[in-house]
Amino acid sequence: MGHRPMITFSFMVILPLLLHVSITMVMKNIFIQSLDKIPYEIWVFPGIVLTIASMSMYSIIYRDMFDLRIHKKSFLPMTLTPFTKTQLILGFLITSIIETTVYVLIAMGVLTILLPNSLDWSDYFIIPIFAFLYSFILGNIIITFSVLTDRVSTYIFTSVTMFLVIVFGSGILVEFEFYPKTIGIILSNLPLSMILTSLRSIIFFNRFDWTLIITPIVVAIVWTWMNGYLLKRKLRQ
């Protein structure tokens, strides 16, 4: 147990390095720069950070919620507390997001060393804020099938499928203009895509679109309430 923090820290240092070597260094030879003439390794930086946030949220919620529920550990006593089920869901989300934010900060530090040109200092405050919002929505998605799924194999299959959809369908690696027009429009209007699009608009072009911020926030709030309702029904069963 005493070595776990050091192992976790080492992994979170190595993970950005692996993603940089396997994704950024490869893709930048295909997409030398974005359609707006931004060097690919700079353009993809926020996407790699949010990819790490995604991986973190999956593992944390599996550990803190799904594993406890499916193996009947300490989950049931927690549900008997005087808190509402929505408050319980919110508690899972907040603790997961805080831990993920720590990993995001570590990843940003490692990836910055590898960048040919550093971002503006203000970007290092903006990216964690958007990673928080991104994790808020993604966490709700993961919690939904953590509540509805009763088999580990189903959970893993759903997680991998969803992760691939997010990586390739949220504008993390390539711009939506490279997709067929209709598919690109649909993908760009998904809440997770809106967050990344808004983040890049701010740090690269100093453009702020309230619609791209308000919509994901509303979706996250409604989804949190919905997960509370699903958890309540699941426990009744």
Q: Is the pLDDT of residue 79 over 70?
A: no
Closest Cα partner for 92 from 107, 104, 105, 75? 75
- Asked which of 8-17, 52-61, 173-182 is least confident by mean pLDDT, the reply is 8-17
Q: pLDDT band for position 220 (50/70/90)?
A: very high
Q: pLDDT band for position 149 (50/70/90)?
A: confident
Average pLDDT over residues 75-89: 72
Look at the pTM and tell me if it is higher than 0.85: yes
CA 227 to chain centre: 18
Average pLDDT over residues 104-128: 87
Q: Is the pLDDT of residue 127 over 90?
A: yes
Q: Is the pLDDT of residue 157 over 70?
A: yes
Q: pLDDT band for position 156 (50/70/90)?
A: confident
The pLDDT value recorded for residue 234 is 77
Answer positive or negative: Cα dihedral of 31, 32, 36, 41: positive
CA 200 to chain centre: 16
pLDDT tens-digit series, residues 2-50: 466 677 778 778 888 888 888 888 888 888 888 888 888 899 999 999 9
Give the span between the Cα atoms of 58 and 148, in whole angstroms: 15
Q: Is the pLDDT of residue 163 over 80?
A: yes
The pLDDT value recorded for residue 34 is 85
Q: What does the CA dihedral 92, 71, 7, 123 come to, rounded to 10 degrees?
A: -20
Closest Cα partner for 140 from 162, 160, 123, 121? 162
Give CA angle at 132 (143, 160), nearest 5°: 45
